[in-house]
Structures are given as C-alpha cells and as structure tokens.
Chains A and B, each alone.
Chain A
Amino acid sequence: MLKLKLIGDIDSFKPGIKEFEGELPLCFGDDGLPVTVEKGDKLSVRMSEDGGHIIYGEKVHFFRALSYIAQYGTLCFVEESSCFKKSGIMFDSSRNAVIKPETLKFMFRKMALMGLNMGMMYTEDTYEVENYPYFGYLRGAYTKAEIKELDDYADMLGIELVPCIQTLAHLECVLRWEAMAPIRDTARVLEIDNEDTYKFIAQIIKDASEPYRTKRIHIGMDEAELLGLGKYLRENGYVPAHDLMLKHLTRVNEIVKEQGLEPMIWSDMFFSSCSPDDNYYDLVAPIPQHVIDSVPDNVTLVYWHYGSVDEETDDIMIKRHKLFKARTTFAGGLSTWSGMTPGYGSAVYSAKIALRQCFKHGIDEAIATAWGDNGQECNLLSALYGFQVWAEMGYHEGIFHDEYTKSRFKACVGVDASAFIDISRLDAVDGVVPPPNFYVADPTKYMLFEDPMFELLGDDNQQFKLSPYYKKMTALMEKHRDENPRFRTMFEFFARLSAAVEKKCIWHERASKCIREKDRMTAQMLSELVPEIIAKLKELNIAWEAFWMETHKPYGYDAIEVRLGGVMARMETAGRHMKEFADGIVDTIPGLDGERIVYKSYYQQGHLNCFKFWHNIVTNGYAGVQETF
C-alpha cells in the first residue's frame, strides 16, 4: 500500500480524501512519499521513488490523479485534459427506483476517481415540494435535506450536481392524483395557459433547485404526446403543439429567470417542429429563421441521441444545433433501458461515434443518461463500467481505447472490467446476437416473463438452445460473485436471474413441441419442471429484492415483484394443463397448439430481439397498463 504525504493547499481536499479510506490502495500520512499538490490549468501527475507532483485544473482532477497513482504507483506519469468542461452521468430516479443516498455517494466517489465532474438528478416527481402533498407521494421522493447532503458530498469531490426535472410532460405520477386534476391537460401533460399550472411550476422549480448550490437546472420539455389535445382543446380549441410549447417555454423561462436560475432543455421540440414527419433527426428539413429566433437567449439546448450508428447523423445534427445562438450540450446513454442488463456493446458503440463528433465540433459538455424504462429492471450499479468508458473518452478527444479503459476501471473500482462486461452477455448471447448487440436484444427479460401457454415472442424452431447458455452464465455470475465481494449482491442477482431463465427456457424449448407431437413423456417431465421453475423464481425474487433494497429506496420494487409473482401463477396454471395432457385427460393445451407466428420486430438482426415492455410480453390481450378505455 503506497503511502503519500500531501503537501500544499489541500484543506479543501481533506474531507474527500477521508471518504476514500479503504477504497483505494493508498493511504496518507506524514511519513508518506511527499507529493506536492498545486492548482494549474490541466491535470498532471508525476511520480518517482522520491516523491511526486500533482497539478489539477479543477477539483475533480485531484481525485483522478489519486486513481492514477493507485494505478501506476511511483511510475505514474500522466498529463491530460478533458475535451469536455463538464462530463458526467444522469441518474434516473423516476422509473420507480430512487437511488439511495449512500449508493449515490459511492457512485460520486467512483466518478471523482474517473474524473467525471457532473451529475444530473433526473427526478420527475421524486423530490420534496411544498404545498403539493401528492407530489412524489409514495414514490420515495428525496427530501430537501437528502439532496443538500448529496450536493455537499458531490461538491466535496469536485462534482456539480444539477437538478433535472419536467415542467410540461412526463408527469403521469403526479397527474394521476385527483388533487392535481385542475392543472391536467391529459394524463401526462400539464395544461398550458392555466394560471394554476404556472403557480405549480414556480413552486417545483423553486423546490427543485433550492437544495443544490448550482444555479443550473434542466427543465425537460421533450416532446409531449397529445399536448393541447385534452382539456386544453375542449376549453380553447385547437392550437398547434409547437406553438403551445413555445408559449409555455416563454412563461416557464420567466419563472426560471425570476429565480436567478440557468435553464437547460431537451432540444427536440425545435427540430421536430420543422420536420414534416415530426422527426427530431430529420437531417434535411430546413430550419426557418423564426424557429431559430424563438429560442430564448439564456437557454441551453441539450442534443440527445442514444443510438448513434453513423457519423453523419451526429455530425449534421450538431451542425443544425449550431445554427441556434444558444449553447448546445450533448446527452448520450448507457443503454440501461432494455431489460435487466446494461447494454455495454451498444453503449460503447454509440458513445464512440457521438463523443468523437462532439469533440470535432467543440461541444464542451456531455452527459451519459441511464434511463430505466419499464420499471428500472436494470440497476445502474451494473452499468458502472459505462461510467469509465464515458470518462476516458472525454480525456482522449472522444476516442475509445479498450484495454486502457479496462485498466483504468481496475484502478478506480478495484474490479476487472470483464466481470461487468460479462453481465451484458446475459442478453448479448454469444454466437447468436451479433456484437455489439446494437439493437439491445433483451432475451433475459422476455424469456423470463413470456407466458408459458401464449408464447408471443420466443421461437422454438430456432437452431440454438438458450437453456444451456444460461446455465453457463449462471456459473459465470457465481464466479464473479465470489471473486468480487464488494459487488456480491449484484452478481448474486444476475446468477439467480440466469438460473431462473435457464429453467424457464427449458419449458419454452419443449412445451409446444410436445403438444404438436403428442409426446406425453416430455409433458410429464415438463409438469415436474414447473415446481423447480417456481422455486428458482422465488430465489430470484429474494436476490433481486436484496439488490434493490441495497441500492434503492423500497418504493417501486412492488412493480417487479408483481411481475415475478405473475410468472409463478402462470407456471402453475400451465403446469396443470401440462399434467392433464401428460395423463391423457386432454389432447391439447390452448395456445401451445395451433400455428405459431414468429415475431418480426423492427430489428432485422436475426434471432433474438428487443422487447422492452412487460405488458406486451405477458399477453396479446389487454394487460391494463397502457390502454385508455
């Protein structure tokens, strides 16, 4: 363990250093190797057997410097700067999983070591707001005190924490309550031109920004479905959505300015409005001058693109953004929104393209979003390697260096990157899903939840069998669990997930076949398999709950538990049918007989697909989630 004696103006670093006790192979004391610490204009670390010299351009560089010393010891010789003034992670605490403060602190520490200096807290309704008691009700909302503590912690590490809220749409969790009906346009969108709405917005902006030291605030404003077509239409007649959005933005911006804040918004509204197909990524539609003039001077535009596949799109889109006077920043993604695993393949693939374009065009702020669509089945902790990827590209002009990034991860997190990357192999099935799993196939999810009688998505004619693969992956996850005690709960979850999917796949590989072929013996085997599947699902629930509760507030786990309980009930019903078939009491099982249609999705990649939504997996009927009756 290398011991350092830090010399220089280091009082402001002391609290942060203390937090790393036990997490870095470094310790500090007067009898350590003398290392001077000095403010400069970039990050520089030079070490020798006699001592060292750290120069930091900003606070977070100091912590990144520590990670370099941990990595290279007295051989350390690094000089670098980030091409991004701000680079960081957006935490989604709105898709049911509110990340526990302790877990966020852990992530902030890792971010600091990686040199990421920005965190955005995406909270649609999960923050404390006065005068609206149903706002964030039973959602595990952060209190102001919690956020203040997090902001202080982040600041100590050189990280700017920024609130990221919604001020127009994506407010279904708030608008579902009767008390909020007066400001509802539709189930998900606030009513424009309504004074109560602006009173509400003034309150949430105030309460959202209050606990943070930053004056910056992301106020959302991405495309609002059915904007102006609900209550607003009945009360006012038709006004085009884009006109309404501009009107609303102007009002909200006034509120923001009154409160002395600096707003950022998603940029799509300005581009979609110019496109005849309402397409944000329309590369040819002209942008009229009046649209350019309509963006208020003080607003920052956030260009978001999570699935970069070619250079041209980002190149042209950034150029289109530069037509506006406003500053443009970039938001990419960590592919945490498709099933239970982080899509490392696709996240890296897209980041390589997008960040390089950002560098080329001088975009100086880039955030990696971690949306948790459909219930946050993918825990952000499992995407930790993605943080490193994002960070290192910033320090290397948007270029990705594979081996280098992995060795950096070992230094910053103390774990082999391959353990984390292996997690995504649960979905990016070796030999079946072509790397980089660009279309984020998520067979783990849909094989877990697919109905045992009404099999919508699986294809039992496919040449490969998934059950042996998941058996292999279970062993792999268990190995990682045993070798990485710090992430024990996480790998145990993936091991139990894989084990449950393995058994379930056996059912799906054999069930309809044995009905077609009147194979009563296999039917008997399958009916005996059912209790095993249910047992594995129970084990999965215990492991998932443990992982959730370790990293999230408890609210929201119920959505996942209901899904697991649902599969168990279906297995029991299907098992009954299968037993009756095995015993010759019936000659068929509804759903498993009859002609099958292999699901053709948008993704043309071959065998396995991406099915993000639980309610489209478990039935072709009405699950009661998205429909409006």
Chain B
Amino acid sequence: MLKIRLNGDIAELKEGLELVLPQLNNTVIDDSGIPVNVKRGDGLLVTLNENEGSITYSKRAEFFRALSYIEQYGTSCRAEEAARLENVGVLLDLTLNGVMTPEGLARYFAKMALMGLNTAVIKQLVEVKEYPLCGYLRGRYTAEEMKQIDDYAYSLGIEVIPAMDTLAHLDRELCWPEMGGLVDSKGVICVGEENTYQFLEACLSALTAPYRSKRVFIGLDETLRIGRGKYLRKHGFKETAEIISEHVERLCPILGKLGLKPMMWSDIYLDKPNSPAVMSTAESVDIMLRADSSADTKSALETLKKFPSEVVYVGESCFKYSAVPRYDLTAGSAASDLAECISGGIKEALVLMSCEDGAEADYFAGLYLLQVYAEMAYTGKADDAQIKARFAACTGADAEAFLGLNEFDTLGGVKGNPCRLLMYQDPIIPMFEKDCEGYKFSELYGVLKTKCAAWRRENPSFAVMFEFYEKLAAMLSKKCEWHEAAGDIVRRRDCDMAKELAMTAPAIVTAIDELRQAWRTLWYDTRKAAGFEVIDVRLGGVKLRMESAGRRMQRFAEGELDDIEELSAPKLPYATFKDGTIGRVNLWRDISSSANLII
C-alpha cells in the first residue's frame, strides 16, 4: 500500500478526496506517507519517487487525474500533460427510466475525476412545484438531492450542466389529461403558445436553480411530430427547423431571466444551415454536435464552422437499447472523431451515456468509453495498451473484462444484437428461429457465462455488475437450448424429445428469475427503485411464457395436443443482415411479440 501525505493547496480538495480515496486500491493518505506538494499552475504535472512528490494542476479535475497516475505508477511516477480539450466528460440521460441516486452519481463522478473528466451534462427528472405530475412516481430529484449532486461534482472539479427536453420527447409529461392543453402532437409541446412557455419556465427554473452552472442543455433535436398536430392546424405547415428556431427565440428571454446560456442539438444547423431563422438562433446558443455512425463528423464540423456558436462534440453511446456495451461500434470511431475535433479547434467533448427503451444498461458498464475520451483529451492518443493501463488505475478494474462484455452481442462473429433478441424472444412464438439457424448460441453463451464468473471474481469492486452479466449469460444459455430444439421437435412430432424438453422448462424459469433478481440488485445499487418495474414486467412476462411453454410441451408430449401451432409454423427471417449474419431489432415491443401492442 502506497502512503502519501498531501501538502499545500489542499483545503478545496478535501471533499473530493473523501469521495475518491475509497476507490483507490493502491494508495492511501496518511501522515506518515511520502510528502506530495500540491499547487495550482499550468497544465498537469505529477511526480513521485520514494522520497517526495508534487502535483501541479490547472483545473481541479487534473488533480484527481494526477492521483490516478500515482495510483498507476507508485513511486516511479512522472506525467506531464496539457489537455487538448477544455471540457471533456459525459452526457448522462437519467430520464429513460433509470435515475441514479446522488450516492450512485458520487461514485460515478469519482471515477470520472480520476480519469480527469470535468463535465457532466445530466438530463434529469426534477420536482416542479407548479406541475406535480412531472416525474411523478419516476424517482425525480428534489431540490436537496440536486444540490447534493452538484456539491459532489464540484468537490471533484466536475461541472454539472442540467438538461431537459423542451420540445419533443415529453411523452411522459404530456400524457396526463390535465396537461392536454399543452400538446401539439404526441410527446410534443406546442410552440408559440403562452401556456407552453409558462410550463417551460417553471421546469427550467426548478431544473437549474440548485446547480452552480450557468449553462443548460435544452435538447431540440428534430423529430417527426414537431409541429404536426395542433400547430399544423393553427399555423399550417412549417419546416421543422423553422419551428425550432421560433421556439428558441421564445425561450431566450426565459433563459436570460434565469441567467443561463443554452446548449442545443445540432440538428437544425445541419439540416438548414442557410436559413436566416436558423442562423439567427445560432447567436444565442452553444451547439451540441451529435455524432453517430451514419453521420460524417468531419463534414458536420465544417458546416458548423459558419456559426458563431461554441460547438460541443457529443459522441455516441455505447449502449444500443441494451445492456451490452458496444465498444466495437464506438471506441474506435470516438478516437478518430476526437482527433478530428482537436485538430479542428473544438474545445469540448462529451460521450453520450443513454440507453433507450428501458434503461437496461447500467452506465458503469460503459466506463471504458469514458477512459478513451479522457486519454484522447489529455494525450491526443488512444493506444489500446495505454488505455487499458489507465483504466486499471482509474477504475480498479480490468479493461479486458469490460471489453469482454461486448461479446454478449458479438459472440460467434456476429454484429447484430442477439443478446436482446434471445432474452426476449417468445418461447412459443420464436420469431428469430430462422435467423438463428446455424448458430449454437446455447454453447456460446455457456462459454461467456464462465468468463463472466471469472471477471466477477477478479474485479470485486464490480462484483454486483458482473454477477448480473453472469446470470444473463446463464439464462441465455439455457433459454437458447429450448429455442434450438422446440420448433423441430413439434414439427417432427417427437413426443419423447418433447417430454425431455418440457422437463427443462423449470430450470429455464429459475434462470430467468435469477437474472431478474440479479438485475434488481444491480439497479438498486446505484439507482432509485422507480423505473425498474418495466424490467420486472418484461422478465416476469418471459418467465410466465416459459412456464406455459413447458406446460404446453408437456401436454403435447402426452398426446393431449397434436400440435403447438405457433412452434410448428414455418418461420421467415426477421433479423438477418445482408451478409447472412444475425441482425438487429431494437425495441422490446418488436422483439418480444408478433402481436400488436400499440393499439
């Protein structure tokens, strides 16, 4: 155990240290430790040998990054860095069902600080006194909680920038009858109406008051439904970009009153860069460039140069609607995009951490991507070995284990999303039967289960998380055995095999429930309980279907039924890529059922 004693300008670092030190495996603060002189200066410089050390930092986050170097190199520590980006961090979406508790966020911030990340834009649900239904029974933050979150972050040198959608994606707020008067179309508030701006002012005020930051992120991506309901009837057809510009113009006085500088998505600037309304809007906002695999970051950055706004790069989330961190799809492109940004003079970069359709991913599983951002920001390089070594120091965990989780989707050399498909595939109406032909997912997930068990043992600070993944692999392995056998057994009318298969159902049912319980434990570890009901319901649904599948298979085996129509029906491909490998279906409602769930 390395003992150090910090001297110098450390008063302002005390609270942050309290959060960070418990996360370090190798380093403790002790009066008998090696003296380390701490001072403010230019850039980051950290040295430590057996006799003495020094830390110089220009921003508080750099101090904690320096600590991570000490954690990494011990008494042979020397690192000197000049950050290529002024602000680097995350855009956390906590409105998709998963609300992190203040304590959970504190742990997350501590990891961020060790990496040197200094910004967290957090989309969140908050209490709005005038509109008590907003975030009702969804785990929304009270003003006290928000202040607590801000204090945690501040102590670590992280600026929390609060965020909310101000136009679309307001489905859950606007679906209540008493909010009906605000609606343009489903999930979209009506631009140009007095009551709209009354509502938004109340929300923005409640959202931003507890935070120190003078910035706020107001969303404003272009969606299908903007201006297509009441607005269309009232004002006729207008281009989405124009409507959004009009909306921003109305929001500016409110934001001015609150003393806030807004940030918004880049959609309208890339869609209609020559529109006068859009150009005028750009005067008052910072632009968040949303990167994704379909967009060309370089040319987008080019286009955005014509606007006077600060441009913030936002890289894509590694979670694509599921708990599997897709580093294969995001880490490499993040590195090259960040290089592009740095050489292009962009000063701020964030990685999006969001998981739509149920918040099934725990954001801690995406920490490796944060490390990529941190290393690019401070060193300009994204060398694999370097990142892994840094990751070990900053998180206390093995990068291989985190990267290994990627395999839940890429096992067998595929690129789609078999993990989610197979988790929710109905046992009696298996829609992916054709797509899975030729794969032995039951075996592949069996192997992955063993790996997860090892990762769990080797990374005790993430034991709860790897336990979840282990149970996931176990469940998938067993469930896939059923899927691989059921259809053909019924088609062949093989009653003996049917009997055997029916007897495997209870074990699968148990595996599903064990997954559900491990998932709940993981969720409760860093999140409020609200929102987990959706996962409970989905897995409870699969579980009962599995029970019934066993029951019906038993009746078939005994000759009581001479067919199980849904199983024997020939299947067509559903999720197969053009190259023949298993493909993607994103949403639970499309994966879990051939039925109509919408109407």
Interface string of A359-391 (1 = CB under 8 A from B): 000000000000001110000000000000000
Decide if B537 touches A134 in the complex (CB within 8 Å). no
Interface string of A598-626 (1 = CB under 8 A from B): 00111000000000000110111111111
Chain A proximity of B383: nearest CB distance (Å): 35
B29 interface residue, CB < 8 Å from A? Answer: no
Question: Which of B208-216, B373-381, B499-507, B590-598 forms contacts with chain A?
Answer: B590-598
Decide if A558 touches B539 in the complex (CB within 8 Å). no
Most A-side CB within 10 Å, residue of B97, B132, B593, B594: B594
B529 interface residue, CB < 8 Å from A? Answer: yes
Decide if B589 touches A563 in the complex (CB within 8 Å). no
B429 interface residue, CB < 8 Å from A? Answer: yes
Decide if B534 touches A559 in the complex (CB within 8 Å). no
B439 interface residue, CB < 8 Å from A? Answer: no
Decide if B598 touches A454 in the complex (CB within 8 Å). no
What B residues does A600 contact at CB under 8 A? 177-178
B566 interface residue, CB < 8 Å from A? Answer: yes
Decide if A568 touches B540 in the complex (CB within 8 Å). yes
Residue of B nearest to A373 (CB): B599
Decide if A622 touches B429 in the complex (CB within 8 Å). no
Contacts A453-B529, A626-B171 known; A95 to B596 CB distance under 8 Å? yes
What B residues does A622 contact at CB under 8 A? 96-97, 171-172, 356-358, 534
What A residues does B592 contact at CB under 8 A? 562
What B residues does A565 contact at CB under 8 A? 537, 540-545
B225 interface residue, CB < 8 Å from A? Answer: yes
**In the complex, A308→B590 CA distance in Å?**
36
Decide if A176 touches B590 in the complex (CB within 8 Å). yes
A531 interface residue, CB < 8 Å from B? Answer: no
Decide if A620 touches B596 in the complex (CB within 8 Å). no
Question: Which of B133-141, B297-305, B334-342 forms contacts with chain A?
Answer: B133-141
**In the complex, A277→B230 CA distance in Å?**
8
A555 interface residue, CB < 8 Å from B? Answer: yes
B261 interface residue, CB < 8 Å from A? Answer: no
Query: Out of B529, B540, B543, B588, which one reaches A590, CB within 8 Å?
Result: B529
**In the complex, A137→B596 CA distance in Å?**
12
B295 interface residue, CB < 8 Å from A? Answer: no
Decide if B533 touches A454 in the complex (CB within 8 Å). yes
Contacts A238-B237, A565-B544, A573-B520 known; A559 to B529 CB distance under 8 Å? no
What B residues does A173 contact at CB under 8 A? 594, 596
B11 interface residue, CB < 8 Å from A? Answer: no
B572 interface residue, CB < 8 Å from A? Answer: yes
Interface string of B155-184 (1 = CB under 8 A from A): 000000000000000011001011000000
Chain A proximity of B564: nearest CB distance (Å): 8
A567 interface residue, CB < 8 Å from B? Answer: yes
Residue of B nearest to A239 (CB): B237
Decide if B599 touches A172 in the complex (CB within 8 Å). yes
B206 interface residue, CB < 8 Å from A? Answer: no
B316 interface residue, CB < 8 Å from A? Answer: no
Interface string of B93-117 (1 = CB under 8 A from A): 0001100000000000000000000
**In the complex, A454→B532 CA distance in Å?**
11
**In the complex, A531→B569 CA distance in Å?**
36
A289 interface residue, CB < 8 Å from B? Answer: no
B426 interface residue, CB < 8 Å from A? Answer: yes
Residue of B nearest to A96 (CB): B595
**In the complex, A238→B235 CA distance in Å?**
14
B548 interface residue, CB < 8 Å from A? Answer: yes
Chain A proximity of B591: nearest CB distance (Å): 10
Contacts A95-B599, A569-B540, A619-B533 known; A555 to B594 CB distance under 8 Å? yes
**In the complex, A573→B588 CA distance in Å?**
21
A57 interface residue, CB < 8 Å from B? Answer: no
Decide if A134 touches B516 in the complex (CB within 8 Å). no
Interface size class of chain B, counting residues whose CB lies under 8 Å from the partner chain: 35 or more
Decide if A570 touches B530 in the complex (CB within 8 Å). no
What B residues does A230 contact at CB under 8 A? 224
Most A-side CB within 10 Å, residue of B529, B530, B588, B596: B596
**In the complex, A628→B225 CA distance in Å?**
10
What B residues does A629 contact at CB under 8 A? 356-357, 587
Chain A proximity of B532: nearest CB distance (Å): 7
Decide if A133 touches B534 in the complex (CB within 8 Å). no
Most B-side CB within 10 Å, residue of A170, A172, A553, A562: A562
Contacts A558-B426, A625-B589 known; A139 to B594 CB distance under 8 Å? yes
Contacts A453-B529, A569-B539, A600-B177 known; A626 to B534 CB distance under 8 Å? no
Chain B proximity of A177: nearest CB distance (Å): 8
Chain A proximity of B558: nearest CB distance (Å): 17
Query: Out of A95, A137, A375, A564, which one reaches B594, CB within 8 Å?
Result: A137
Decide if B138 touches A621 in the complex (CB within 8 Å). yes
What A residues does B531 contact at CB under 8 A? 619, 621
Contacts A597-B136, A602-B177, A620-B136 known; A559 to B595 CB distance under 8 Å? yes
A392 interface residue, CB < 8 Å from B? Answer: no
**In the complex, A451→B544 CA distance in Å?**
18
Residue of A nearest to B591 (CB): A624
A73 interface residue, CB < 8 Å from B? Answer: no
B233 interface residue, CB < 8 Å from A? Answer: yes
Decide if A226 touches B228 in the complex (CB within 8 Å). yes
Decide if A620 touches B137 in the complex (CB within 8 Å). yes
Query: Out of B133, B187, B572, B598, which one reaches A137, CB within 8 Å?
Result: B572
**In the complex, A447→B98 CA distance in Å?**
25
What A residues does B540 contact at CB under 8 A? 565-570, 572
Residue of B nearest to A139 (CB): B594
What B residues does A240 contact at CB under 8 A? 237
Contacts A138-B569, A226-B224, A620-B137 known; A625 to B598 CB distance under 8 Å? yes
B12 interface residue, CB < 8 Å from A? Answer: no
**In the complex, A619→B538 CA distance in Å?**
12
A157 interface residue, CB < 8 Å from B? Answer: no
Most B-side CB within 10 Å, residue of A170, A565, A615: A565
A120 interface residue, CB < 8 Å from B? Answer: no
What A residues does B533 contact at CB under 8 A? 451, 453-454, 570, 573, 618-619, 621
What B residues does A211 contact at CB under 8 A? none
Chain B proximity of A539: nearest CB distance (Å): 13
Decide if B572 touches A620 in the complex (CB within 8 Å). no
Interface string of A157-186 (1 = CB under 8 A from B): 000000000000010110011000000001
Decide if A554 touches B565 in the complex (CB within 8 Å). yes
B145 interface residue, CB < 8 Å from A? Answer: no
**In the complex, A230→B431 CA distance in Å?**
27
Chain A proximity of B495: nearest CB distance (Å): 20
Chain A proximity of B28: nearest CB distance (Å): 32
A196 interface residue, CB < 8 Å from B? Answer: no
Query: Out of B171, B178, B589, B595, which one reaches A558, CB within 8 Å?
Result: B595
B514 interface residue, CB < 8 Å from A? Answer: no
What B residues does A138 contact at CB under 8 A? 429, 431, 566, 569, 594
A556 interface residue, CB < 8 Å from B? Answer: yes
Chain A proximity of B99: nearest CB distance (Å): 9
Interface string of B565-594 (1 = CB under 8 A from A): 110010010100000000000011110111
Residue of B nearest to A178 (CB): B574
Decide if B545 touches A561 in the complex (CB within 8 Å). yes
Listed A/B pairs (15) with beta-carbon separation below 8 Å: A173-B596, A176-B590, A373-B599, A541-B548, A553-B565, A561-B541, A566-B536, A569-B516, A590-B528, A590-B529, A597-B132, A601-B177, A602-B177, A621-B97, A621-B531
Binding site for B on A (CB under 8 A): 94-96, 133-134, 137-139, 170, 172-173, 176-177, 186, 226, 229-230, 238, 240, 276-278, 373-375, 451, 453-456, 541, 545, 553-556, 558-559, 561-570, 572-573, 577, 590-591, 595, 597, 600-602, 615-616, 618-629
* Pairs A-B, 7 closest by C-beta atoms: A569-B540, A565-B544, A562-B541, A566-B537, A138-B594, A590-B529, A565-B541
17 further interface pairs, Cβ-Cβ under 8 Å (given A226-B224, A619-B531): A96-B595, A96-B596, A170-B599, A374-B599, A375-B597, A454-B533, A555-B566, A559-B595, A562-B538, A566-B541, A595-B132, A620-B138, A621-B97, A621-B534, A622-B171, A627-B357, A629-B587
